[in-house]
Amino acid sequence: MSHALIDVLLDRHKDALGRDFAAYGNHVHRVFDGTLLHQRHLAPGYTPSDDEMAALAIAAVYHDAAIWLDGTFDYLDPSNAHAQAELKTRGLERWSDAVFDMVMGHHKLTSVPPRGDDPNWGEWFRRADYSDVSWGLVRFGVPAADLKAVRSAYPNLGFHKALVRIAGGWFPKHPFNPMPMMRW
């Protein structure tokens, strides 16, 4: 699956991502592919447009990117700002709400509600990120073999270790706000 735009955008930020470039890049690919798996599972008759696929690629690249681009573990708002700017640059503003839901909702503990009749990319993306962060233990009904195939194509390469390292630097400085990205 995947999308060529992902690598273009990741390469643009290679210096900022530093030693976590490959680990984050593979996470981005796993979330992108996982979102499509969840979309197919929940809306099997729906075929995304080329613009939707580009918007999904942008959301995937930027959903956690402010950790590195802005040096913050409170990253949802700045990550969304990066994604929205990229949508505008590419003339994809039509997908602003969907990308907002994907970036801002991917750490929700509850479902991301759909917006009218629009496809619920926010919920599909949330499920994909949880599936990836849980190493496939949380699958939301997607077959384990499908998620395993995505993990095989894009190995972890230390992504979870990087998150622990980054979180470890945040917690002592913000003991009353240890997980600022979590939402209800």
Per-residue pLDDT of the chain (184 residues; tens, 9 = 90+): 789 999 999 999 999 999 999 999 999 999 999 999 999 999 999 999 999 999 999 999 999 999 999 999 788 999 999 999 999 999 999 999 999 999 999 999 899 999 988 899 999 999 999 999 998 999 999 999 999 999 999 999 999 898 778 776 656 676 666 566 656 6
pLDDT at 7: 98
Which 8-state DSSP code applies to residue 114?
A: P
pTM above 0.85, yes or no: yes
Q: Are 97 and 8 in contact (CB under 8 A)?
A: no
Q: Are 61 and 6 in contact (CB under 8 A)?
A: yes
Q: Are 59 and 125 in contact (CB under 8 A)?
A: yes
Rounded Cα distance between 91 and 99, Å, is: 14
**Is residue 108 helix, strand or coil?**
strand
pLDDT at 177: 64
> Which residue type does 153 have?
A
pLDDT at 48: 96
Closest of 63, 100, 92, 90 to residue 79, by C-alpha: 63
**The tokens of 146 are what?**
């499908």
Rounded Cα distance between 162 and 122, Å, is: 25
pLDDT at 163: 79
